[in-house]
Structure 1
């Protein structure tokens, strides 16, 4: 199964320790590295990761962590394209609760044939085109 990883899957292990969600995220990432889970994420995810953690860990450490994601085995980072944006707008029309960035993540996941989105964000729950695997 191919899964789309939302930004919080990467952020929680960096910013939070001794938290059950942090442990679940580490397990998901271990599953990716070991090949038990084929994963994709997008360039938008990298933007969100950098934005969130740069304030806590500093510029140099954050940029190194972001670069390291490009080397993570079994993770493909895809670009957000015009078709993704068009589909994101359609998802926002269909699901009024869906925020723009969440719609983009969902569109990229759907357009790249991901079966699920791994995320702590319950806003994906209402999107019928793709299911969410939560951290609870």
Structure 2
């Protein structure tokens, strides 16, 4: 069974207000929780969730979302020194093409852990040649 990396936006759309991406994200997370799909995140995903909700003055909602992520059966990958080295290489390679530093860390962690595919609605992951992006609707 393939293991997919789940981008931060999947959790945020699933927990957020009605949106075109909400239902595909909720369905995807349900499939992960049921064991139909194997999925991973890195520790940076938690930081992004907490930072975003703290920034919009909803820290309790961010903490609740982070706690609920712990119940999904996700493989939580650490960000290691080697991941940072790879991310610095990726950053130099892709910074001028609009890829954000935190997304570079996800890509580096994926490569270091043998994960090929990220589930995300962010199309800028398509720029990173070392990973493949699919939309949540591709897995439901």
Matched, 1:5 2:6: yes
Size of the alignment, in residue pairs? 134
Partner in structure 2 of residue 79 of structure 1: 78
Partner in structure 2 of residue 92 of structure 1: 91
C-alpha separation in 2, matches of 1:43 and 1:58: 20
Partner in structure 2 of residue 42 of structure 1: 42
Deviations 1:32-67 (A, max 9, x none): 112121110011100111122345573334323212
Root-mean-square deviation (CA), in Å?
1.8
Deviations 1:65-107 (A, max 9, x none): 212222222x111111111110011112222322211110111
- Distance verdict in 2 for CA 1:57–1:77, change over 3 Å: farther
Structural mapping, 1:14-29, within 5 Å: 14-17=15-18, 19-29=19-29
With the length of structure 2 as denominator, give the TM-score of the two structures: 0.85
- Whether contact under 8 Å (1:84, 1:111) holds in the other structure is yes
Partner in structure 2 of residue 120 of structure 1: 121
Structural mapping, 1:59-70, within 5 Å: 59-70=59-70
Partner in structure 1 of residue 135 of structure 2: 134
Partner in structure 1 of residue 53 of structure 2: 53
Name the SS of the counterpart of 1:3 in structure 2.
strand
Name the SS of the counterpart of 1:95 in structure 2.
helix
- Whether contact under 8 Å (1:15, 1:53) holds in the other structure is no
Name the SS of the counterpart of 1:20 in structure 2.
coil
